[in-house]
Amino acid sequence: MSSEAAPPTTGPAPKESKKKKGVEKVLYRVRAVFRRGERPKKQTAEQAPAPAPALLSPPVAPGADGGATAPPKKHQYENATRVPRIQVHEERVKALGARFGLEIKPGEWHSTDGDVLRVEKSVRMRIHRECHRCHAAFGTSNECPNCLHKRCKNCTRYPAKRTEEERQANRDRREVAIRRNKELAPIIPSYDYSDTIVLKRPGKPGGQDLVYKGKPRIRVRRNCHICNNLISTNAKQERICDNCGHKRCADCPRSPDARKKYPYGYPNDEPGSTFKGVHSCHECKKKFPANAEDGTECQRCSHAKCPDCPRVKPRKVELEPDPDVFENLRLHMEALKLKTADS
């Protein structure tokens, strides 16, 4: 006789009779955790549940050309309006100026290009109410959660509603604060030197202030020696008379005259017919007298002045001290010594 086959068991495996101890117990738990993570991966497509008909996407209506039309996209922010970015920065700068007395240009603060989205919302303030019967705080509803009393005017409100006098007093305090901030505004350094800066210090009591005027300056004027026209300062580079076109030379008078400081002629002047300049010997560098003609002998090497002898560059020369002044000073010092010796 053949014995009937036992039906396969689909339930979980029977628990082991022996209790695991030590390292075996830890390894058994680790293997169990890995088995749980592998169960969803072993599920085949046939065993996967079919999607519910309610979760299926609704059919798309065909368009005019037979193709499917995409649903209209909603704006990311509803009830939003586009505002120029510079307008937002101007509002912030105006608020900072009214509060702290600052002068800020929007362009120097942030970038003012483009637009921003603004959503208009009403001003909100958290208000707490308390039941006047059981002194319990109200929630989001109008009924007390403790005694089910419906909120009324006798229930306390925090913050309390302000009267018109309190609102006006708050406006007055705000105006005083704005005025005080403008008067005590921080000192902003200015690097604009378009206006003349006057340096002065207080003088004697009841007198005028001492003003620093600096070194005295003399305006130098040059006139053309041909037409006696004033050579303008705009012709400083060209140095040409606007009337007759004459190029400025050593004969053109200078006001004030400074021949003693410039014995070799004024800088950037051409040689004139009257004052031809001072030349130096090209062999020994000894200077010839002023307006010396060609052929004049040099006092050092007896070289005759020739066209190769260069002209001395016009420049300012320190004046030599007068010997008479030194002699008077020496006599004065000797007289002082005699007075001290007699005393």
Reading the block at residue 248, the tokens are 């400025």
**Would you tell me how many other CB atoms lie within 10 Å of the CB of residue 33?**
8
Instruction: Give me the pLDDT at residue 172, please.
Output: 92
**What sign has the CA pseudo-torsion 40, 44, 50, 56?**
positive
Reading the block at residue 58, the tokens are 């609704």
Amino acid identity of 331? L
Reading the block at residue 254, the tokens are 């200078």
Query: If we measure between CA atoms, which residue out of 253, 313, 312 comes closest to residue 281?
Result: 312
Q: Is 150 helix (H, G, I), strand (E, B) or coil?
A: strand
Q: Exposed (0-12), middle (13-18) or buried (19+): which is 264, by Cβ within 10 Å? A: buried
Query: If we measure between CA atoms, which residue out of 56, 81, 61, 80 comes closest to residue 71?
Result: 61
DSSP at 213: -
Instruction: Give me the pLDDT at residue 317, please.
Output: 87
Reading the block at residue 234, the tokens are 């705009």
Instruction: Give me the pLDDT at residue 72, please.
Output: 55
pLDDT at residue 43 tops 80: no
Question: What average pLDDT does range 280-306 have in this prediction?
Answer: 89
Instruction: Give me the pLDDT at residue 56, please.
Output: 40
Residue 167 contacts residue 174 (beta carbons within 8 Å): no
pLDDT band at 46 (very low <50, low <70, confident <90, very high): very low
37-46, 131-140, 159-168 — which is least confidently predicted?
37-46
Instruction: Give me the pLDDT at residue 253, please.
Output: 92
Higher per-residue confidence, 181 vs 307 = 307
Question: What average pLDDT does range 9-26 have in this prediction?
Answer: 54
The helices-and-strands tally (H runs, E runs) of the chain is: 5, 8
Instruction: Give me the pLDDT at residue 44, please.
Output: 46
Reading the block at residue 272, the tokens are 């004139």
pLDDT at residue 193 tops 80: no
Reading the block at residue 269, the tokens are 């002047």
Higher per-residue confidence, 162 vs 47 = 162
21-34 tens-digit pLDDT: 665 766 676 666 55
55-106 tens-digit pLDDT: 344 444 454 454 555 555 555 677 788 888 888 888 888 888 877 777 777 6
**Would you tell me how many other CB atoms lie within 10 Å of the CB of residue 279?**
24
Residue 115, φ and ψ in degrees, nearest 5:
-120, 165
311-325 tens-digit pLDDT: 998 888 887 777 888
pTM for the whole structure: 0.35
Reading the block at residue 217, the tokens are 């300056």
d(CA 138, CA 148): 10
Instruction: Give me the pLDDT at residue 53, please.
Output: 43
15-29, 111-125, 250-264 — which is least confidently predicted?
15-29
Contacts with 159 (C-beta within 8 Å, 6 or more apart), sequence order: 125, 127
Q: Which residue has the tokens 């497509």?
A: 45
